[in-house]
Amino acid sequence: MRNIIQILVVLALLTSCKKQNQEYAPVKTNQPVTHHVKVKEVKQTGDYTYLQVEEGNRNYWMAINSTDLKPGDDFSYSNAVLMTNFESKDLNRVFDEIYFADTGAQQDQSSNSETKKSRLSKEEQENISVEKAKGGITIAELYENKENYKGKTVLVKGKIVKINDQIMDKNWVHLKDGTSFDGKSDLTFTTQESLTVGDVVTMTGKVTLDKDFGAGYIYPLIVEEASSVKE
């Protein structure tokens, strides 16, 4: 378990911008008690999901690997590292305190979420390698040059690693192609199409930055009104 916590700390540091002379202090390295929290706000940042949660009379921020949780959901976790003065490059925000939780966080059975959770396993995702579509771009190229693609239509080929059906009348499709930039390798599309996890597809849609869907759904980068195309 100690190794898991150490890995979480390293990942957190690698995916964020460190200020000069700033130290990130892991105040707590283990929380043996299971914590039951309610999600108040969600901010998606590629491979990670930032959550503002409520536990009893306390509200605080935490981060876990990309998840389907939404405001109003309940979930539990047992292991987390508390980071102080943590700067998220993706969110352009410094958190006075934020917990990085073990990826074993599980949604409670009592949750009011009806979201279907269908995804590839972590091992399957690690072995993804998809050739770039003709005339298209890779996921890494999009993240690296996101300002250049803002408002433009892009063509991206990848494997579907996760689908969240019918949230706010949209299907939310997550693609990976084996490339990454600054720790971001998961690209989210919204579409009306019914697709299947594990399929390799070529998707086209419009790039939107800093999209706030309301109800706590905020995406620094997302591809909207997408559809699949045949090469």
Task: Name the residue with tokens 């579409």.
Answer: 191
| CATH 2.40.50, domain 2-107, yes or no | yes
Biggest CA-to-CA distance, the chain:
54
Q: Read off the pLDDT of each residue in 139-167 and give the average, rounded to a whole number.
A: 93
- pLDDT tier for residue 10 given thresholds of 50, 70 and 90: very low
Alpha-carbon gap, residue 53 to 108, rounded angstroms: 14
Confidence of residue 102 (pLDDT cuts 50, 70, 90): low
Residue 84's pLDDT band (cuts 50, 70, 90):
confident
d(CA 119, CA 122): 9
- Greater confidence (39 vs 14) lies with 39
What is the SS3 assignment for 93? strand
Per the confidence metrics, is the pTM higher than 0.85? Answer: no
Give start-end residues of each CATH 2.40.50.140 domain in the chain. Answer: 118-229
Q: Residues 44, 67: contact at Cβ < 8 Å?
A: no
Q: Residue 123 — φ and ψ, nearest 5°?
A: -65, -40
Distance CA 215, CA 26 (A): 31
End-to-end Cα, the chain, rounded Å:
46
- pLDDT for the residue numbered 116: 42
| Homologous superfamily in CATH for domain 118-229 | Nucleic acid-binding proteins (2.40.50.140)
Lowest mean pLDDT among 13-22, 72-81, 136-145: 13-22
Shortest CA distance to 208 belongs to which of 154, 162, 167, 150?
150
